[in-house]
Each structure stands twice: as structure tokens, then as C-alpha cells.
Amino acid sequence: MKIMITGCNGQLGNELISILKSGKSEIGAMPCELAGSELLPVDVDTLDISDNAAVAAFVAENRPAVIINCAAYTNVDGCESDFETAFKVNAMGVRNLSLAAKSVGAKLIHVSTDYVFAGDGTRPYVEWDQVNPQSAYGASKALGEKYALAFNDKTFVVRTSWLYGYIGKNFVKTVRRVIREKGGITVVNDQRGNPTHANDLAHHLLKLALTEEYGIYHCTGEGECTWYDFAKKIAELSGFGDVVKPCTSVEFPTPTKRPAYSSLSNLALRCTVGNEMRNWEDAIEEYIKKVED
């Protein structure tokens, strides 16, 4: 199987490549059908997904069976001040990939976000809940979802949240760095969601790639917590002790309105390929044992 991975240098792209090369994830062995897959990893330096002509030419020449789109403009606050770039990458870039996938009969797996929802829920969002983004980032990703589904009938849209991996910047590494530098950290305690290990997400994307169970999915770590809870667990597992203090979102204002409650339920996974996502506490414990930062 020829698999194209955009955003290959990011957290998720790295995990996909690692799993495909080794044949296993931290959850377990991957299906034998993925063995010997030919990888087509690209990032913005080799293929700008917002360039429609370049995307069309690359896909036409290489003819992948599956395109996994991990590329995105994920600077949430940056999207508020530079909506045009957010639109070009998170919406038009997805449209370009969807059109190109359709032209060669490829499956498209597009990774989206909890930010497509209003973030004022009282129970975990399921796949049929209406999107209602409250930020430029969320709006650009919501439009990307529409484009992905509109132009290629072989499409999976997979929403995730609070992602962390071994390569690149993330919340876990930031917490550990700040504690080392300052002896402690203050984190908001009124925003709830699902921490998600990129290795677990990659495992499920590859399982989906072997199916024709197209549609919208949620794929996040099991269980929910606040950012404060998450940071406290990171500090505890890292051996820093009780050095995390809580605050409110009002006390820590940002240019972007963050979701107060954006937990996702992996309902579609449970109904199709199976939900093997680890509990967030188990996943972060394994991560802390292995991460180098």
C-alpha cells in the first residue's frame, strides 16, 4: 500500500511513520496488510498543500492509495490575527487534497479538532453533534471538514484533541520545561477535555485506512480532565512533586476563546473498527517514561 503523509515532520506524522516502519504501536501490532507499505512523507518544504496545482501534480505522479493529512496551521492565537493563512492551510489545503485524492481514487484521512464545537457542552460531544466554532482556528478547521467530505467520497474526518507526541512542541513538554526553569507552573482549571497520545491516534488512523468505513470520527484519549489536572499528573509522573497551581481562564486571558468543555466521545470508533484508545492517565504515564526533552 502506498501511503502519503502530509505534515510528516509534526507530532502525528512522526508517529505514523514510526508505526508503519516498525509494524507496531504502543497499543499493539498493526494489521499485516500494512507491512511493506510504501511511504510518501511530505511537509511544507516539499509540498505546500495550499498550492492546488502542486498537490494535483504530486498526487497524479505518485498515485497513493491513502492520503493522511496531518498538515495544519495549529497556532490557535495566530489564526485569530492571520485568518488568511488559517483559511489557506486548514480549509483550501484540505480541499486540494480531497480533489486530488478523488482524481486517483485514493482514500483521504483528514485530522480535525475539538475546536469545531462551541465548547460549552455538558457531556462529551458525539459525531452527529452540530459544529459551532467560536474561533478562527475552529472555523477554518470546520470548513476543512466540509471540503474533505464534499470532494472525495472515500473520506474519513477524524477529530482529536489535546495532542502530544514524542517529536515537536506540546503541552507536556512545555509544563516540564517551565517547572524546570521556574520551579512551578500555574494552569487553568476550568477547561475540560481529553489528552490524546499521538501514538494512539496514529494506530487508529491506520486501522481506519484499511477499511471503507468512511465518515466522521472522534479519536481521543479515554476519560477527561482539566488542563490543571493534566499538568498536575505530568508533574507527578516527572518527579517534580506538588508544583502546579490552578487558575481560571479569566486570570489567564488569551486572544482566542478556548473551549470550556470540549470532551469527545469515540462513538464511531466503537461502532466500526473498535476503540482501543488508552485511558489518558495510562497513556501519559507511558509517555513520560519514554520522552526525551
Three-class SS state of 291: coil
Instruction: Count other Cβ atoms within 10 Å, centred on residue 8.
Output: 22
> Under a CB-based contact definition with an 8 Å cutoff, are residues 154 and 106 in contact?
yes
- For residue 282 the three cell numbers come to 495510562
What is the spatial distance between Cα 93 and Cα 148, in angstroms, rounded to a whole number? 10
The DSSP line for 119-153 is: SB-SS-B-TTSPP---SHHHHHHHHHHHHHHHH-S
Cα Rg of the chain, angstroms: 18
Q: Is 166 a catalytic residue?
A: no
Instruction: List the catalytic residue out of 137, 217, 228, 287.
Output: 137
Secondary structure element (H or E) that encloses residue 244, with its range:
strand 244-247
Catalytic residue annotation: 137
